[in-house]
Amino acid sequence: MSSPKGMRICTSDIEFLRSVGVYGLLSTEDARFSYPDYKDNSVHKRLRLMTDNGLLKAARLRVAFDRGNSAEKGGRLPSLYSLTPAGADLLESMTGERPMRVLNSDLAPSTYMHRREISDVVQIFTRCCLSEGLAMPRWVLEQDIWKDAPVQAPPNQRRQLYHNIAIDRGRLICQPDIACYLQLPQTSVVIYWEIDRSTEGRKQLREPAKSDAYFALLATNGYQRYWPDLPDDVHKFVFWICPTPERCENVRLLFKEHKIASHLRFSHRKIFNQTTNVLTTPIYQTVTGELRQILKHE
């Protein structure tokens, strides 16, 4: 493979390309984790050169990012970077590993924004796991392809997280945004994540398509599609991450009497952020309002 023009690929470039291949979509702010010794202007230059060489796809969306302590509030519009097939080829040639998540077609602006929110949650959770000495969680993201999907299935049903579940009275469709397997010191946990955007009203959330579908997914151990080596007795939860405390409270009360209630945990982005240890801090509400944490230090 020919070398990129106008630059020499360095270790930090490889780390950023690898991270994009893991998380699917990263911003300039996220790049600072791969370039800790670089000034901001130098980081922007590296990303621009990789974009110009076709290794990254940059999307600059004309929307407001309100992300709390984000360094990108105000000023230049944030860019969102995806890994191109050329970037994946370069990464594979230099590391020997093919990245999992490569952008093969353009996305709608709303999809970019949702992927951004998913990426943010996955990054925060992963860094907290690694900081606590845990293994990196196994992740499945909404865009991940189900290679063993039925041949006749349409594209939207050929995803790992598209679950068509047979029940007595028909079928239910469950499509989590994220799934992860987490190995804690004393137990194993499977977590399905709903990254709430306040786009669904009370009626939609109450409908079986949302509530009963998650219960059916847990009852049928749907995670064994992507992790067939896991047993039936892992602990299973659905984490509902809302944009605001008010939305979190509304959703929590909606599910209070549902049969899936004991498996639900609720949090919101004002506390699920880069400055919170989301493993050891009690930021997850049960349906009764009790705050829980994932990992307790003895």
In a domain, 182, yes or no: yes
Q: Do residues 158 and 254 share a domain?
A: yes
In a domain, 129, yes or no: yes
In a domain, 3, yes or no: no
Lowest mean pLDDT among 11-15, 25-29, 103-107: 103-107
Q: Do residues 143 and 287 share a domain?
A: yes
Residues 6+ away with beta carbon under 8 Å from 50 = 4, 7, 13, 16, 17, 56, 87
Q: Do residues 54 and 126 share a domain?
A: no
Residues 6+ away with beta carbon under 8 Å from 280 = 128, 132, 293, 294, 295, 296, 297
In a domain, 1, yes or no: no
Last residue of a domain, one of 48, 78, 106: 106
Pairwise CA distance, residues 229 & 222, whole Å: 12
* pLDDT one-digit tens code per residue, 190-227: 999 999 987 665 555 555 567 889 999 999 999 999 99
Q: Do residues 222 and 256 share a domain?
A: yes
* Residue 269: pLDDT over 90: yes
Last residue of a domain, one of 77, 106, 135: 106
Mean predicted confidence (pLDDT) in 135-158: 91
Mean predicted confidence (pLDDT) in 32-58: 96
Phi (first) and psi of residue 43, to 5 degrees: -65, -45
In a domain, 70, yes or no: yes
In a domain, 2, yes or no: no
Amino acid (one-letter) located at 138: R
Lowest mean pLDDT among 27-36, 185-194, 208-217, 272-281: 208-217
Q: Do residues 270 and 132 share a domain?
A: yes
In a domain, 241, yes or no: yes
Structural contact between residues 51 and 83, judged by C-beta atoms closer than 8 angstroms: no
Give residue 205's pLDDT. Answer: 59
Give residue 136's pLDDT. Answer: 96
CATH of the domain at 70: 1.10.10.10
Q: Do residues 265 and 161 share a domain?
A: yes
In a domain, 34, yes or no: yes
Q: Do residues 173 and 253 share a domain?
A: yes
Last residue of a domain, one of 53, 75, 106: 106
* Structure confidence at residue 74 as a pLDDT band (50, 70, 90): very low
Q: Which domain holds residue 201?
A: 115-292
* pLDDT one-digit tens code per residue, 235-254: 999 999 999 999 999 999 88
Q: Do residues 193 and 245 share a domain?
A: yes
Q: Do residues 122 and 177 share a domain?
A: yes
Q: Do residues 267 and 185 share a domain?
A: yes
Number of domains the chain is built from: 2
Q: Do residues 231 and 142 share a domain?
A: yes
159 versus 65: the higher-pLDDT residue is 159
297's tokens: 């230090």
Q: Do residues 218 and 168 share a domain?
A: yes
